[in-house]
Amino acid sequence: VKFLDEYRNANAVRSVIKTIEQTVTRPWTLMEICGGQTHSIIRYGLDQLLPNDIALIHGPGCPVCVTPIEVIDRALLLASRDDVILASYGDMLRVPGSAVCHQNSTLPRDLFDVKSRGGDVRSVYSPLDAVALAREHPNKTVVFFAIGFETTAPANGMAVLQAAREKLDNFCVLASHVTVPPAICAMMESPDCRINGFLAAGHVCAIMGVSEYHALAKRYQIPIVVTGFEPLDLVYGILKCVQQLETGQYCVENAYRRTVNDAGNVTAQDVIQKVFEVCDRNWRGIGFIPNSGYRLSDNYAPFDAERRFADVMPDITEDTHICCSGAVLQGQIKPDDCPAFGNPCTPLTPLGATMVSSEGACAAYYKYGRVTA
Amino acid sequence: MIQPTCPLPVLHYDKIVMGHGSGGQMTEELVRDIFAPAFGMPKQLGDAAVLSKVDNGHLVFSTDSFVVQPLFFPGGNIGSLAVSGTVNDVAMMGATPLYLSVGFILEEGLQLDKLRQIVNTMADTARDAGVCIVTGDTKVVERGHGDGVYINTAGVGVQLGLEGPHSGNAKPGDVLLVNGTLGDHGMAIMGVRHGLNLGDALCSDAAPLNGLVKALLTVCPNIHVLRDLTRGGLAAATHEIAQDSGVVIEIEEACVPVKETVRGACEMLGFDVLQVANEGKLLAIVDASDADVVLNTMQAHPLGKEAACIGRVTDVSDGMVICKTAFGSTRVMDMPVGELLPRIC
């Protein structure tokens, strides 16, 4: 497949790894921000090929994983209503709500459970598919479960603009957007932080550009390398990061130029500006991070499911205590260090979202887990 | 002359109505007009069939139900699946499939033309496979209670060998062979569902494999395992075999044949091709000394031109499948969990 095979070329990847081997002189711990990067690293076994001095830890950049449990509960509740069609990205369907850790809960386990109880839950590829559902079902309220980082925010914003243009007052979004830079700050300021360099998420930067990261690199004196998702992209990003670390530099470097330019996608940024406003967010497993997300701005309040259904929304619930997905998301422990990993927590019986999403570090470990000879 | 003035009941509809499942005159008409001409002599299509006596060998019996949406897709329709699916299940036991039953659950409102098309495809596929459809049943459910057509088929065949291939029979040193590209059927269905509009570039591989199985067993009567790679794809099949046989199976990812269009569609929709369903592909696990002759026989057969050796059985274990990447690294290939879900990004 053109533009993929070139970046999965084994010889090219090996040659970059050789250069990394020649460059590295001492141990470094790098964090890849995005769950898509984690997925590729594990799927292609890239971490096995790197010199032992390079440790990769898997960042919080899986939107499915960090969506807080109370938002999942809200989605479960809305989806259970007779007057609602809930449309969602596919991998949100299996994320467990609070019923999984609180036996007495009357809430359904997950969106599949809602569906089996008669709720109308649809898996869509694009928020515009949800707008189309609203058009086709004027007697139902279509709620789009709008999660994701800066990457999905523009498309979700476009869906709101489209619904507004068409005056589709039966469309709304349950928005739980989060943003990368505040998460970097939260991790760097954690006393347990052992990160020496970041591989920034290429697609987030494709939207937002790289300007926000300069201040972070300077403040925390840490290299931030904008990195793509294919094996060659990833090893190249790692090389660039290691080169900076070995020479005592810390700056923002773009190792994903074929997709990311410094300014980002200005049109997409405009959509975000227009439709959303910055808000505080609770990150599942990590906790509360100020100014770390987007919610619908007041101008688009009628399209905000939280406001539309404010009187029926469930209270904030507590997450399970055995699951250590928070520490996993912050790179403090590896997934298989969690006492629940593999038993009782598996992709079939997940306790935390990191075991659900194929981008989640726990699921990636479980699915593609290592064989030690 | 006196004309009759009371309205006569209409018997000829262009769609399925509830009466078609009544067991009365309309059901009989459906059998007479659609099923019998396609499947053979009317006397054979009763509620039960008497089959010829089998003198030696074991009877093999299998059943499967088909609920695919869309009903029609590039490369086939629910009818071709319903025949190939059961024929293949019987064939994978190393048996020769002989007879099929067919049960239809039809939704009120289904166009008779569509039904006729499906039934004719079933008849053609059965003819290709050399099996007879000998008994059947039809029920009609109210509109909204079915997806047009559901089909159940059951098949009977005869296994002549002493012990046929089975999933607990893979041994360290064995070699894994597939008869062609993987993921074709699943992605043809997904392509239609998601409106990829790639036309025939994504085309189902649905086909009866009993002819190919016969050819393989002729050159190598001692095939250890035969599996059709349906739901869950190669990942699910190898996993089950590894567990049943208590072995480690190692897949060479770079050797697995996949069409470019299928690979592209999987990338776009976020699926792992090793977990995607096939309807005309089998996995044969054979002793290393038999691998060449089996592979050559596959490649000489019309349904095996792109056959390839994709891995081997390496060790005794409690059942594990390992994927070797093109980079030389490895990962564990797990059983797919539940429904295949596209990734968010």
Q: A125 and B332: CB-CB below 8 Å?
A: no
Question: Which residues on B lie below 8 Å from A39 (Cβ)?
Answer: 343
Band (pLDDT 50/70/90 cuts) for residue B319 is: confident
Q: Which two tokens stand for residue A272?
A: 């975000």
Residue in A10, A203, A371 closest to B326 by CB: A10
Cross-chain residue pair B342–A112, CB shorter than 8 Å: no
Q: Please write the tens of the pLDDT for every residue from B249-290.
A: 999 999 999 999 999 999 888 888 999 999 999 999 999 999
B188 - beta bridge partners?
Answer: none
Cβ atoms of residues A182 and A283 within 8 Å? no
Mutation site, A125, A152, A232, A259, interface B, largest B CB count within 10 A: A125
**Peptide bond before A68: cis, by omega within 30 degrees of 0?**
no
Asked if B337 reaches chain A (Cβ–Cβ under 8 Å), the answer is yes
Q: List the single range of A126-140, A226-240, A248-262, B330-344 with lowest mean pLDDT.
A: B330-344
Q: Report the residue of chain B nearest A13, measured CA to CA.
A: B327
Task: Answer whether A20's CB lies under 8 Å from A51's CB.
Answer: yes
pLDDT digits (tens, 9 = 90+) for B48-73: 888 888 777 899 999 999 999 999 99
CB B173 within 8 A of CB B287: yes
d(CA B193, nearest CA chain A) in Å: 11
- The more confident residue out of B20 and B318 is B20
CB contact under 8 A, A44 and B337: no
What residues 4-33 of chain B have any CB closer than 8 A to a CB of chain A?
none
pLDDT of B165 reads 93
Examine the pLDDT at B345 and tell me if it is beyond 50.
no
* B264: closest chain A residue by CA: A1
Nearest CA to B223 out of B277, B276, B159, B180 is that of B159
Q: What is the 3-state secondary structure (H, E, C) of A84-102?
A: EEEEECHHHCCCCCHHHCC
Cα A30 to Cα A242: distance, rounded to the nearest angstrom: 9
Predicted pLDDT at A202 = 96
From B259, which residue of chain A is nearest by alpha-carbon distance? Answer: A1
pLDDT confidence bin for B10, thresholds 50/70/90? low
Query: A359–B344: do the CB atoms touch at under 8 Å?
Result: yes
Rounded to the nearest angstrom, the minimum Cα separation between A136 and chain B is 17
pLDDT tens for each residue of B118-141: 999 999 999 999 999 999 999 999
Q: Phi, psi (5° rounding) for residue A293?
A: -155, -175
Q: How confident is the model at residue B217 (pLDDT cuts 50, 70, 90)?
A: very high
Mark which residues 39-68 of B lie under 8 Å from A by CB. none
Q: What is the mean pLDDT of residues B150-168?
A: 90
Q: Is A280:A292 a contact under the CB 8 Å cutoff?
A: yes
Shortest distance between the Cα of B136 and any Cα of chain A, in A, equals 31
Chain segment B67-110, per-residue pLDDT in tens: 999 999 999 999 999 999 999 999 999 999 999 999 999 999 99
What distance lies between CA A136 and its chain's CA centroid?
Answer: 30
Residue B194 near chain A (CB below 8 Å): yes
Confidence category of residue A204, pLDDT binned at 50, 70, 90: very high
- For residue B22, what pLDDT is reported? 85
Interface subset of B 249-308, CB within 8 angstroms of A: 260, 263-264, 267, 269-270
Chain B CA closest to residue A349:
B337
Out of B322, B327, B341, closest to residue A90 by CB: B341
Kindly list the residues from chain B whose CB atom is less than 8 angstroms away from the CB atom of residue A151. 345
Q: Do A49 and B260 touch (CB under 8 A)?
A: no
Q: pLDDT at position A371, please?
A: 40
- Note the pLDDT of residue B340: 65
The number of C-beta contacts closer than 8 angstroms across A and B is 95
Reported confidence tier of residue B343, pLDDT bands at 50, 70, 90: low
Residues of A with CB under 8 A from a CB of B: 1, 4, 8, 10, 13-14, 36, 39, 42-46, 48-49, 63-64, 89-94, 112, 123, 125, 147-148, 151-152, 203, 231, 347-348, 357-359, 366-371
For A104, the 3-state DSSP assignment is coil
Taking the CA of residue A221 and the nearest CA in chain B, the distance in Å comes to: 30
Which residues on B lie below 8 Å from A152 (Cβ)?
344-345
Nearest CA in chain A to B263: A1
Please state the pTM of the whole predicted model. Answer: 0.86
CA atoms of B12 and B292, how far apart (whole Å): 58
Determine which of A94-108, A126-140, A303-317, B192-206 has the lowest per-residue pLDDT on average. A94-108
For residues A68 and B68, give the distance between their C-alpha atoms in angstroms, rounded to a whole number: 36
Task: Give me the pLDDT at residue A174, please.
Answer: 97
Strand partners, A144: A87, A173
- What would the DSSP string read from start to end of B116-175? HHHHHHHHHHHHHHT-EEEEEEEEEE-TTSSSSEEEEEEEEEEE-SSS---TT---TT-E
pLDDT value of residue B339: 66
Predicted pLDDT of residue A373: 30
Q: Measured between beta carbons, which residues in chain B are less than 8 angstroms from residue A203?
A: 345
Residue B4: its pLDDT value, please?
54
Query: What share of chain B has pLDDT > 90, as a percent?
Result: 71
CA A110 – CA A198 distance, rounded (Å): 33
What is the DSSP pairing of strand B72-73 with strand B76-77?
Answer: antiparallel
8 Å CB contact between B202 and B188:
yes
Mean pLDDT for B138-155 is: 95
Confidence bin at B321 (pLDDT 50/70/90):
very high
Q: Is B195 on the interface with A (CB under 8 A)?
A: no
* Residue of B274, B318, B332, B344 to mutate, interface with A, max A Cβ within 10 Å: B344
pLDDT band, residue A370 (cuts 50/70/90): very low
* pLDDT greater than 50 at residue A323: yes
Closest residue in A to B254 (Cα–Cα): A10
Q: Are the C-beta atoms of B119 and B82 separated by less than 8 Å?
A: no
Place of tokens 């300021």: A189
CB-closest option in A48, A91, A94 to B343:
A91
Q: Which residue of A has its CA nearest to B344?
A: A89
A147 and B344 in contact by Cβ < 8 A?
yes
pLDDT given for residue B23 in this prediction: 83
A230-276 tens-digit pLDDT:
999 999 999 999 999 999 999 999 999 999 999 999 999 999 999 99
Closest CB to B194 among A125, A151, A359: A125
Mean pLDDT of B242-255: 96
Tokens of B54: 């089998």
Task: Tell whether the model's pLDDT for residue A170 goes beyond 90.
Answer: yes
Tell me whether residues B343 and A63 touch, CB distance under 8 A: no
Contact call for B327 and A45, based on CB within 8 A? yes
pLDDT tens-digit series, residues A47-78: 999 999 999 988 888 888 888 888 999 999 99
Residue B227: pLDDT band by 50, 70, 90 thresholds?
Answer: very high
pLDDT for the residue B162: 67
A264 φ/ψ sector (left φ>0, alpha ψ -120 to 50, else beta): left
For residue B27, give how far its alpha carbon lies from the nearest alpha carbon of chain A (Å).
Answer: 33
> Could you read off the pLDDT of A301-312 as tens digits, one per residue?
999 999 999 988
Query: In chain B, which ranges are continuous DSSP H helix?
Result: 25-30, 36-39, 78-91, 112-129, 184-193, 210-219, 233-245, 260-269, 291-300
The answer to whether A367 contacts B332, with C-beta atoms less than 8 Å apart, is yes
